[in-house]
Amino acid sequence: MSTFGIDDLPVRDELRGKSPYGAPQLDVPVRLNTNENPYPLPEPLVERIAERVREAARDLNRYPDRNAVELRTRLAAYLTETGGYPVGPENVWAANGSNEVIQQLLQTFGGPGRTALGFEPSYSMHSLIARGTGTGWISGPRAEDFSLDVPAAERAIAEHRPDVVFITSPNNPTGTAVPPEAVLALFEAAQAAKPSLVVLDEAYIEFSHGDSLLPLLEGRPNLVVSRTMSKAFGAAGLRLGYLAAHPAVVDAVQLVRLPYHLSAVNQATALAALEFSDTLLGYVERLKSERDRLAAELGALGYEVTPSDANFVQFGRFTDAHEAWRSILDRGVLVRDNGVPGWLRVTAGTPAENDAFLEAARALKKDHPDLTDHPDLTDHPDLTDHPDHTDQPNLTGQPNTGDQPDHTGLTDPNDQRQERSA
């Protein structure tokens, strides 16, 4: 049998010894680990998708609208209706998931010889896509409570002068939101340093207690707001992300987008979902209530809970988070071990799913009190030291991770902690 493998190919040096991002899901009764919306699409929407796809299928011998004008127009209307700021189709761009939006932004504004900075722990695909586009990655600081330490963040921006700055609000995996004054302070710091493109990742904004920061686009052409239909729209299988920005940014990303990148079927499905936005946002309200219930009941059980504006809750603290994760898994519930020392993350599911999780959390407290003490996180090893991952020094005492322990995004395929979450 041949032993020829990836490392025998002339692949890029920084990819050697790595594994693809993600791992198989586990077959358990309750899966609350990937921040999916637990509610299936309503039957009238399913029927409308079928109608629109049937219409699109008649012209599948032709390429789709490469500029997705109808879809961008409807996304702009949705943003205007829900975001408190008027947006036109010239301000909107759509792609195959928010990850492709991020990729196109880094292809356009990052690349070899350029750097991007994010504040970790945060969404790990920012750094992974930076690697894939040849963009140097800088890990910026967070406060001990996972909020943004604005003065420290400003100093990091001034010191490293990145070409792209990522701000994730609500943040994944912590759930914490960033107040508008903090975003403005970091935006001004980025403009003074370079100027830099600032990307505000609002993948979970529909679940927030607060409002979208879309109005901050006014007068700020170097600010971009990215969104997804995977979460609030319950359409993770669709793979549709989008951004709102100055028309010049929309024009710029089209320099790197692949021709006809959005299929006619994807466009038709997304348009159908947008027709049912009010119905789907009703499910969001249920999930917000369930998220708040999870946070309250975990707190009542004696767990420490990070305030969340997303559809998940980060909870701890644990002397050994992976052992706590396994104990919950043994009770048929799969949550997420992101590698943040002392913490786990649980997605808000249906009431029945959440009840099953809370029962497992109660049992964990009762059966393994040694795991649920509140340790000093400074006793944990610093997971930020990955010289093969970052071209700049790590600037934070927090783990260099958002969705997997290694945070390289290229992980051990046998580690069941790693599942796709965006």
For 349-400, how does the pLDDT look when each residue is reduced to its tens digit (9 = 90+)? 999 999 999 999 999 999 999 998 654 444 333 333 333 333 333 333 333 3
List, for residues 131-155, the tens digit of each pLDDT value.
999 999 999 999 999 999 999 999 9
Instruction: Give burial (CB, 10 Å; 0-12/13-18/19+) of 24.
Output: exposed
Q: How far is CA 247 from CA 36, 51, 397, 408, in A?
A: 31, 32, 38, 33
* 315 pLDDT above the threshold of 80: yes
Report the pLDDT averaged over residues 252-279. 97
- Residue 22: the pLDDT is 65
| Sign of CA pseudo-dihedral 244, 245, 248, 254 | negative
Task: Report which secondary-structure segment, H or E, holds 101.
Answer: helix 97-109
Could you read off the pLDDT of 68-96 as tens digits, one per residue?
Answer: 999 999 999 999 999 999 999 999 999 99
pLDDT at 395 (0 to 100): 34
Residue 54 has pLDDT above 60, yes or no: yes
- Residues of the chain with pLDDT > 90: what percent? 82
Average pLDDT over residues 207-216: 98
What's at 227, amino acid-wise? R
Task: State the Cα–Cα distance between residues 116 and 126, nearest whole angstrom.
Answer: 9
Q: What is the pLDDT of residue 234?
A: 95
Q: Both tokens of residue 422?
A: 């965006």
Q: What is the pLDDT of residue 374?
A: 57
What is the full DSSP assignment across 137-204? EEEE---TTSS--HHHHHHHHHHH--SEEEEESS-TTT-----HHHHHHHHHHHHHHS--EEEEE-TT
Phi, psi of 283, rounded to the nearest 5 degrees = -65, -35
List C-alpha distances in Å: 375 to 317, 338, 370. 7, 17, 10
Cβ atoms of 288 and 296 closer than 8 Å = no
Q: Write down the mean pLDDT value for the chain.
A: 89
What is the distance between the alpha carbons of residues 217 and 87, in angstroms, rounded to a whole number?
A: 10
Measure the CA–CA gap between 87 and 79, rounded to whole angstroms.
Answer: 7
pLDDT in tens, 322-333: 999 999 999 999
Q: Assess contact for 102 and 227: CB atoms under 8 A.
A: no
Task: Say if residue 47's pLDDT is above 90.
Answer: yes
Least confident of 54-63, 195-204, 406-415: 406-415
pLDDT at 220 over 70: yes
